[in-house]
């Protein structure tokens, strides 16, 4: 049995990133960059007004005073938009200018409209105004060729906007993994089916699909597999031929109908590990063959969710070449004592809130058994309780990762 730390580390050691492809930048959300990205333009692209107001030469009003006001007639109006032939601003005049509009040649400052005194179409100044105010200068954020993002970085909405703003029309990203989901068990029936004695509805298939789509992946192929060795072999052969990642739920332990680990190995999957020192989801199998991956998860839905949040997240990030594969861990204090396990890390669903002093607190929830899901209405995070004897006392700092919301 492998430790949870070593199990998570093994994904990067055994998986390599899938090939890259070029996509329009508008389709790059949630994808992982395969190449570093640099700006193709100066940002801003031109000197522009930072707000609505009036542009002029600061020197023209340097002598302004209460006793000797300076008047600048408004000679031109400049809204944001196309200005192919922008004329220079004449001395001792001003331009009405809106946010984002290009500064006219000759103007070196801009005064907000709420600070001006107007006499008809003439500005009246009774004091000087400093040069280079309220102007966004060309290239002050980025120069052409400047670094934007690194290879191995996932494209967030903010990064997407930055790439577009930097003039990028296409980007190289890692190809999305093709994912095939297998749900095993003779007792499993689709949602909405009438159940006979001994049967249950499939919650794992919809949950796995929902988590993957929440993470930005297309809806996966989901297939129900009977507890029959020949059927399992046939389905796995086809899944391995079609998918980069096969996620199965059920059939991964040591029962009479748990055919998946042995069949996977018989079909060429190299076992990286089978059984992890974690509770729940101990009988988890990770196999690799030519960068095709099989994660065989236990069938209890609580164990499936925990395996998704930790193991599937890590495997997907490695297949996509993410520089820092997840899950991302944070830290908080236990609000109440919890029991530890002498041999396995406990992975507990908890609620996260904050004390009055801002301290992050973890509140364990009831009904933690691996077949139970009812506490997910309140669970926000998954907390890592280290293995050991005795209890983990209130106030202990634990690491936690967010559950898919």
pLDDT digits (tens, 9 = 90+) for 343-363: 999 999 999 999 889 999 999
Same domain, 130 and 144: no
Same domain, 234 and 298: yes
- Report the pLDDT value the prediction gives residue 257, as an integer from 0 to 100: 63
Among residues 101, 103, 105, the alpha carbon closest in space to that of 91 is found at 105
Beta strands in 158-266 (DSSP E): 170-174, 179-184, 188-189, 200-201, 221-225, 245-249
pLDDT in tens, 149-183: 999 999 999 999 999 999 999 999 999 999 999 99
Are 314 and 206 within one domain? yes
Are 159 and 27 part of one and the same domain? yes
- Residue 12 falls within a domain, yes or no? yes
Q: Which domain holds residue 100?
A: 48-136
Both 55 and 76 in one domain: the answer is: yes
Does 236 reside within a domain? Answer: yes
For residues 183 and 311, state if they share a domain.
Answer: yes
> Per the domain annotation, does 204 fall within a domain?
yes
pLDDT at position 328: 95
Task: Identify whether 33 is part of a domain.
Answer: yes
In a domain, 10, yes or no: yes
Tokens of 132: 């280079």
Q: Read off the tokens for 107.
A: 């103007």
- The answer to whether residues 261 and 372 belong to one domain is no
**28 lies in the same domain as 14:** no
- Span 75-114, pLDDT tens digits: 999 998 888 789 999 999 999 999 999 999 999 999 999 9
Average pLDDT, the chain: 94
Same domain, 170 and 180: no
User: Do 216 and 303 sit in the same domain of this protein?
Assistant: yes
Segments of the chain with pLDDT less than 70:
256-257
Model confidence, pTM: 0.90
Placement of tokens 């974690």 in the chain? 278
* CATH number for the domain that contains residue 392: 2.40.340.10
The reply to whether 324 falls in a domain is no
The verdict on 296 and 338 lying in the same domain is no
Query: Alpha-carbon distance 74 to 134, whole Å?
Result: 18
Same domain, 197 and 218: yes
Q: Which of 272, 298, 319 is the last residue of a domain?
A: 319
* Number of separate domains in the chain: 4
pLDDT tens by residue, 38-52:
999 999 999 999 999
End residue of a domain, out of 109, 136, 163: 136
């Amino acid at each position: 049995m492998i430790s949870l730390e070593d199990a998570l580390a093994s994904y990067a050691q055994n998986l390599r990133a899938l090939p890259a492809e070029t996509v329009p930048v508008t389709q790059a959300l949630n994808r992982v960059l395969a190449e570093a990205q640099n700006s193709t333009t100066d940002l801003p692209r031109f000197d522009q007004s930072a707000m609505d107001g009036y542009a002029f030469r600061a020197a023209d009003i340097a002598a302004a005073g209460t006793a000797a006001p300076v008047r600048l007639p408004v000679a031109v109006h400049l809204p944001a938009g196309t200005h192919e032939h922008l004329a220079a601003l004449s001395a001792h005049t001003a331009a009405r200018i809106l946010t984002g509009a290009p500064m006219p040649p000759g103007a070196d400052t801009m005064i907000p409209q709420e600070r001006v005194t107007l006499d008809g179409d003439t500005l009246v100044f009774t004091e000087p105004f400093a040069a280079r105010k309220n102007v966004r200068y060309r290239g002050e954020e980025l120069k052409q060729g400047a670094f934007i993002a690194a290879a191995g970085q996932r494209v967030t909405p903010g990064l997407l906007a930055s790439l577009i703003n930097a003039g990028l029309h296409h980007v190289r990203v890692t190809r999305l993994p093709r994912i095939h989901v297998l749900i095993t068990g003779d007792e499993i029936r689709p949602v909405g089916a009438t159940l006979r004695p001994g049967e249950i509805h499939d919650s794992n298939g919809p949950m796995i699909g929902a988590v993957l789509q929440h993470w930005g992946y297309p809806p996966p192929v989901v297939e129900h597999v009977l507890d029959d060795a020949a059927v399992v072999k046939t389905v796995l052969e086809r899944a391995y031929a079609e998918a980069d990642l096969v996620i199965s739920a059920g059939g991964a332990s040591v029962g009479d109908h748990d055919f998946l680990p042995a069949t996977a190995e018989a079909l060429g999957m190299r076992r990286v590990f089978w059984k992890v020192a974690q509770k729940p989801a101990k009988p988890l199998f990770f196999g690799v063959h030519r960068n095709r991956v099989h994660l065989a998860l236990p069938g209890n839905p609580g164990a499936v969710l925990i395996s998704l949040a930790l193991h599937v997240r890590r495997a997907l990030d490695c297949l996509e070449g993410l520089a820092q594969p997840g899950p991302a861990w944070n830290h908080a204090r236990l609000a109440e004592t919890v029991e530890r396990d002498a041999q396995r890390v406990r992975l507990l669903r908890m609620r996260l809130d904050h004390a009055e002093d801002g301290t992050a607190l973890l509140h364990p929830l009831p009904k933690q058994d691996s077949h139970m899901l009812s506490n997910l209405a309140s669970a926000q995070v998954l907390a890592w309780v280290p293995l050991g004897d005795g209890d983990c006392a209130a106030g202990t700092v634990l690491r936690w990762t967010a559950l898919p919301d």
